[in-house]
Amino acid sequence: MAITNALIVFQKGQKQRGEPPVDHATFLTVLQDELLQVTADSGGHAQAPPTLVQSLLYPQAQVRGASRYE
């Protein structure tokens, strides 16, 4: 249920930013890839620049360059 809610929240954020919504499969693929980058050594943060996970956690930040769906 949490993943479905995350998709809904992410799609609403995309709509507010004027971006086209992603499909469920693409969302899950990117989310899984980013979650696999999180390690105990990283303190719970992904090693890469702003990610889907960060945009879900901090939607008000409007992180540029975080979209991997284009």
Of 37, 63, 41, which Cα lies nearest the Cα of 10?
63
Q: Please check whether residue 29 lies inside any domain of the structure.
A: yes
pLDDT of residue 70: 46
List the chain pLDDT tens, one digit each, 70 residues: 788 888 888 888 889 889 888 888 888 888 888 788 776 666 655 555 556 666 666 666 554 444 555 4
pLDDT of residue 67: 54
What is this structure's pTM? Answer: 0.51
pLDDT of residue 31: 83
SS3 of 48, please?
coil
Q: Please check whether residue 48 lies inside any domain of the structure.
A: yes
pLDDT of residue 63: 46
Q: Please check whether residue 19 lies inside any domain of the structure.
A: yes
Q: Please check whether residue 21 lies inside any domain of the structure.
A: yes
> 63: alpha, beta or left, given left = phi > 0 and alpha = psi -120 to 50?
beta
Q: Please check whether residue 67 lies inside any domain of the structure.
A: no
Q: Please check whether residue 68 lies inside any domain of the structure.
A: no
Domain span holding position 25: 2-61
Q: Please check whether residue 18 lies inside any domain of the structure.
A: yes
Domain count, the chain: 1
Half-sphere exposure at residue 35, Cβ-oriented, CA atoms within 13 angstroms:
8
